[in-house]
Each structure stands twice: as C-alpha cells, then as structure tokens.
Amino acid sequence: MYIHDIQHIIKSRYTDFSIPADVYKFTVINYIKGGERVLEIGCGRSEFMIDAYTQAGEVIGLDPDAAAIEANKVVNTKIIGTFDKLELLEEESVDIVVSSWVMEHINDPDFMFRHLVRVLKKGGYFISITPNKYSIVTTISRLIPNIFHKKIVKLVWGRDEQDTYPVYYKLNDGVSIRNYSSKYGFDIVDLKFLSDPSYYVFSLKLLDFVVNLHRRLIRERNFEDILFVLQKQK
C-alpha cells in the first residue's frame, strides 16, 4: 500500500488530520486570485495541482527530466533543465513560484535564489513544501548514502525509482529558510511544520497505535514537513 493510501485512511479515522500535500495545494490556491503567471519548480509528470491552477493565467513548468515534463498535462509552458534555464524568462515576469518536495534536492540554494529573485515580481510569492530536516524520517535518510535511496523509497513508500533524486537538505529547517530569505530580500509570510504519521505505518493493523504514539512523542519542531510562504520585498 502506497503512502498516499495510508494518508487517506488516517484522514478518514482522524478528522483533525490534514494531508500535508492538501495543505500545500490549498495554500497555493489561496494565492492565485486570477490571471497570475505561476512557475512550478520540479513539476515532473504529476497532475496533482491541476485543479489549483484553474485561475492562473499561465503555468510554467521547470524540470530537468525531459520525459517527465513532456508527459505533464498541467503546465502551459515547459522548460527542460535547471535554474540556469530560467534565463529564458524575462526579469520580474512571474507572480508566484511554487514547489513541492523539491527543496531537499537543492545542492546550491544560492544559485536557485539568484534566479528566482530575477524572475519573480516585487511583491511576488515563493510557496514550497519540503521535508523537515529534523524529523525522524529525514534524520534516517541523511544517514543513508544517496546511492541506496531509490531502492528504499520504492520498497517502503512505493515511489518509482526514476522519480527519486539525490537529497542534500540545505533548505529544510527554519533557520536556513530564514537566513536565505533575509539574504535575498524575502519576507516570511508563513512558516509552519506539518505532521504526517503515515511515514511510519507499515501495517494497517498498527495504524492507530502508530498515530497515537506519534501524537504523544513527536514535537512540532520534529514534524515531517515544512510549508513556507515567502514574499519578495517590494
């Protein structure tokens, strides 16, 4: 059973549980008022955000995986490559930049922020959800060499090996997010930690036990995901 299935089972049993991906999507929807130009970093092949972009004027997708981005039916404009390819976009031409579970793969945050600052309009937003560097899951992941991640992620969480990339966790905690925001002229509009016990449910028979144990033992600072909203200063 994939992690997404487990999340929905938890949500059906615990009405106060919010799936982090849904929290991220609803956050993005709240910032799209109508006609905005949106840039999605690491858009891949996913159609998860299709209903979030209904009011957007244009959705630009950036991804280094040519096959994945070509299969994407959500974005209007497709850019194959990394952040240097954003040179194709005019300065201050994007209203909102979004990313989901991508920041953990960024090895050079300065390189990324320099390009984002250039293309993002003054007052524009950068919205992202990413693993918390100090969660149990990420702590274990950091101890395992990247070479083994594909097999483990496929075995434990059912994600395709081709969609698993090296991780660095350089922009995955409150301190680093605040530091880079200040360095590149962003104000932090929102920064919160999201709980997701589904990472630890390997048997549905133990689901309730795991969820309740998670609630008792895991502090907010060690929750599994971080959602942040940054605004480029005007």
Structural domain that includes position 153: 3-232
Q: Given this model, what pLDDT does residue 164 score?
A: 55
C-alpha of 194 from chain center: 12
Decide the pairing of beta strands 94-100 and 225-232. unpaired
Decide the pairing of beta strands 225-232 and 186-194. antiparallel
What would the pLDDT profile of 62-84 be if each residue is shown by its tens digit? 999 999 999 999 999 999 999 99
> By percentage, how much of the chain surpasses pLDDT 90?
83
Q: Give the burial class of 75: count Cβ atoms within 10 A of its Cβ; 0-12 exposed, 13-18 middle, 19 or more buried.
A: buried
Residue 73 maps to which CATH number? 3.40.50.150
98-135: string of b/e by CB count within 10 Å (b at 16+)? Answer: bbbbbbbbbeebeebbebbbbbbbeebbbbbbbbbbbb
Task: Record the tokens describing residue 66, joined without a space.
Answer: 């040519």
**Mean of the pLDDT values across residues 166-174?**
94
Count of the separate structural domains present in the chain: 1
Q: Given this model, what pLDDT does residue 43 score?
A: 95
Model confidence at 33: pLDDT above 60: yes
Give the chain's mean pLDDT. Answer: 91
State the Cα–Cα distance between residues 41 and 37, nearest whole angstrom: 13
Q: Given this model, what pLDDT does residue 216 score?
A: 97
Confidence of residue 144 (pLDDT cuts 50, 70, 90): low
What would the pLDDT profile of 39-60 be if each residue is shown by its tens digit? 999 999 989 999 999 999 999 9
pTM over cut 0.85: yes
Tell me the residue type at 64: P
State the Cα–Cα distance between residues 127 and 228, nearest whole angstrom: 6
Q: Given this model, what pLDDT does residue 103 score?
A: 97
**Mean of the pLDDT values across residues 115-126?**
98
> By percentage, how much of the chain surpasses pLDDT 70?
90
What would the pLDDT profile of 191-223 be if each residue is shown by its tens digit? 999 999 999 998 999 999 999 999 999 999 999
Model confidence at 148: pLDDT above 80: no
What would the pLDDT profile of 16-26 be if each residue is shown by its tens digit? 999 999 999 99
Question: Do the Cβ atoms of 94 and 38 come closer than 8 Å?
Answer: yes
Question: Do the Cβ atoms of 184 and 115 come closer than 8 Å?
Answer: no
Smallest Cα–Cα separation from 212: which of 224, 227, 200, 226?
200
Q: Given this model, what pLDDT does residue 145 score?
A: 57
Cα 168-174-177 angle, rounded to 5 deg: 65
State the Cα–Cα distance between residues 107 and 221, nearest whole angstrom: 23
Model confidence at 159: pLDDT above 70: no
